Amino acid sequence: MHRHRVMISAAVVAAAIGFVPTAAQAADQPAERQGSVSAQVEAAKAAAAKSAVFHSPAERTVRTTGKAAAAQAAGAAGTAGAAKDNAGLAVDLRATATTARGISLASQVTTGVDTPVRVDIDWGDGKTDTEHVTRTKLLTSKHTFAEVGKHKVTVTLTDQNNNVTATNSVEVQSLGSKFTPHTPTRLLDTRSGIGGTNRPVSPYGVARVKVGGNSGIPADATAVALNITVVSPRSGGHITAYPSGTEQPTTSNVNFVAGQTVPNMTIVPVGADGYVELVNRSYGDVDLLADVTGYFSPSASAGGYTSLNPFRIADSRTGQGTWGQVAGQSTFGLQVAGNGAVPASGVTAVALNVTVTAPRGAGHLTVFPSGQAAPGTSNVNFKAGQTIANSVIVPVGSDGRINIRNGAWDPADVIVDVVGYYSPGSKASYIPTPPTRLHDSREWDFPVEGQDYRWLPLSDGDPTVTAFVLNTTVTDTQGSGHLTVAPDPNTWAQYLNETAKWPTPPNSSNLNWTKGETVPNLVQASTGATGVIDFWNRGWDRTHLVVDMFGFYEKD
- Reduce the DSSP state of residue 244 to 3 states and report it: coil
**89 closest CA partner among 70, 68, 62:** 62
Q: Which helix (H) or strand (E) holds 487?
A: strand 481-487
Q: Out of 5-9, 40-44, 213-217, which region has the weakest mean confidence (pLDDT)? A: 5-9
* Mean pLDDT over each residue of the chain, to the nearest integer: 89
Which amino acid does the sequence have at 535? F
Q: How far apart are alpha carbons 70 and 130 in whole angstroms?
A: 17
Does pLDDT of 5 surpass 80?
no
Angle (CA) 395 397 401, round 5°: 100
Is the Cβ–Cβ distance between 278 and 230 less than 8 Å?
no
Q: How far apart are alpha carbons 221 and 397 in whole angstroms?
A: 23
Q: What pLDDT is attached to residue 6? A: 28
Q: How far apart are alpha carbons 301 and 518 in whole angstroms?
A: 40
Strands (E), 373-480: 380-382, 388-395, 401-406, 413-423, 429-440, 453-457, 465-475
- DSSP designation for 194: B
> What are the tens digits of pLDDT across the range 249-297?
999 999 999 999 999 999 999 999 999 999 999 999 999 999 999 999 9
> What are the tens digits of pLDDT across the range 87-139?
899 999 999 998 999 999 999 999 988 889 999 999 999 999 999 999 999 99
Q: What pLDDT is attached to residue 1? A: 36
Q: How far apart are alpha carbons 326 and 356 in whole angstroms?
A: 10
Q: What pLDDT is attached to residue 28? A: 59
Q: What pLDDT is attached to residue 29? A: 58
Q: What pLDDT is attached to residue 3? A: 38
Q: Which letter, b or e, does each residue of 422-446 get, where b requires 16 or more Cβ atoms within 10 Å of its Cβ?
A: bbeebbbbbbbbbbbbbbbbeeeeb
Q: Out of 18-27, 151-160, 330-339, 383-392, which region has the weakest mean confidence (pLDDT)? A: 18-27
Residue 77: band (very low, low, confident or very high) from pLDDT cuts 50, 70, 90 = very low
Residue 10: band (very low, low, confident or very high) from pLDDT cuts 50, 70, 90 = very low
Share of the chain above pLDDT 70, in %: 90
Using left for φ > 0, alpha for ψ between -120 and 50, and beta otherwise, residue 338 falls in left
Q: What pLDDT is attached to residue 84? A: 54
- Reduce the DSSP state of residue 38 to 3 states and report it: helix
Q: How far apart are alpha carbons 428 and 49 in whole angstroms?
A: 17
Q: How far is CA 148 from its chain centroid? A: 16
Q: What pLDDT is attached to residue 78? A: 38
Is the Cβ–Cβ distance between 116 and 91 less than 8 Å?
no
pTM metric for this prediction: 0.88
Q: How far apart are alpha carbons 468 and 464 in whole angstroms?
A: 12
Q: How far apart are alpha carbons 165 and 249 in whole angstroms?
A: 49
- Overall size of the chain counted in residues: 556
Does pLDDT of 354 surpass 90?
yes
Q: How far is CA 278 from CA 178, 254, 346, 549, in A?
A: 24, 10, 34, 17
Q: How far apart are alpha carbons 236 and 297 in whole angstroms?
A: 35
Q: How far apart are alpha carbons 54 and 255 in whole angstroms?
A: 39
- Reduce the DSSP state of residue 143 to 3 states and report it: strand
Q: Please report how many Cα atoms fall inside a 13 Å half-sphere around the Cα of residue 383, on the Cβ side.
A: 6
Is the Cβ–Cβ distance between 527 and 467 less than 8 Å?
yes
Number of Cβ within 10 Å of residue 414's Cβ equals 25
Burial class (CB in 10 A: 0-12, 13-18, 19+), 404: buried
- Rg of the chain on CA atoms, in Å: 27
End-to-end CA distance of the chain: give it in Å, rounded: 37
Residues 6+ apart with CB under 8 A from 77: 71
Q: How far is CA 523 from CA 45, 141, 205, in A?
A: 19, 36, 27
Is the Cβ–Cβ distance between 157 and 109 less than 8 Å?
yes
Q: What pLDDT is attached to residue 50? A: 76
pLDDT (mean) for 226-235: 96
Q: What pLDDT is attached to residue 394? A: 95
- Reduce the DSSP state of residue 352 to 3 states and report it: strand
Does pLDDT of 85 surpass 80?
no
> What are the tens digits of pLDDT across the range 175-205?
999 999 999 999 999 999 999 889 999 999 9
